[in-house]
Every structure is written in C-alpha cells, then in structure tokens.
Amino acid sequence: MNRLHGEYKQPGGKLVVVDLLVIDGRLCQVQLSGDFFLAPDEALGWLTDALEAQPADLALESLAALLAAAAADAELLGVSPHGIATAVCRAIAAGAPDA
C-alpha cells in the first residue's frame, strides 16, 4: 500500500503538504505538514482528525468546509482550509490508476 502525497503552494502564502493512505475508499493515516503556522498547536490535530475516515471521493469544496469547521477556533497563517483541501485532492489524484 503506497502513501499518497500532495502539495499546494498557497498564492501569497506557504506550502502545505499532505501524505495519506486510502483504505476501503476512506482517508487514513493523514499527515499534514508544510511551512505554514497554526495557533493553537492543537489545531494541527483538529485538521487531521477532520480528514480521517472521510470518503476519498469527497469534493474539494466539501473537504474545505470540513476543514474550515475544524479550524473555527484556530488561526491559520499562510494556509487556508481550501489550500489544505487542494493538497488532499492532489494526493488522491496522484494515486488514481490513470495518474
């Protein structure tokens, strides 16, 4: 089972990197990193928890909405929920059979 990798450079912002597995059509073992900043520190866990077990075919805007809700009490500097969702979608696309 290969880990999937996606990146997105937020325009005017920072790089976000997502590594994950897709098992039985769901996101698993999601790791989020990059050169952005989050406050409080726990916000990273809030974001990855929001992605865990989500359907791998969830639309970009739906992923962004989930991430925005998870980060409602956080400050995201250099990245947005939409940027993180884009990196997730890129990772999934990279693992597609015709990629």
pLDDT digits (tens, 9 = 90+) for 26-49: 999 999 999 999 999 999 999 999
pLDDT bucket at 1, cuts 50 / 70 / 90: low
99 found inside a domain: no
Q: Domain holding 72: CATH number?
A: 3.30.390.50
Residue 99, pLDDT above cutoff 60 = no
Q: What percent of the chain has pLDDT over 70?
A: 96
89 found inside a domain: yes
Q: What tokens does 93 get?
A: 């696309």
Of 78, 99, 95, residue with least CA distance to 5? 95
Q: Which residue segment(s) compose the domain that 42 sits in?
A: 4-94
8-state DSSP, 1: -
What are the two backbone dihedrals, phi and then psi, of residue 32, each rounded to the nearest 5 degrees? -115, 130
**Burial bucket for residue 65 (CB in 10 Å: 0-12, 13-18, 19+):** middle
Domain count, the chain: 1
pLDDT digits (tens, 9 = 90+) for 71-90: 999 999 999 999 999 999 99
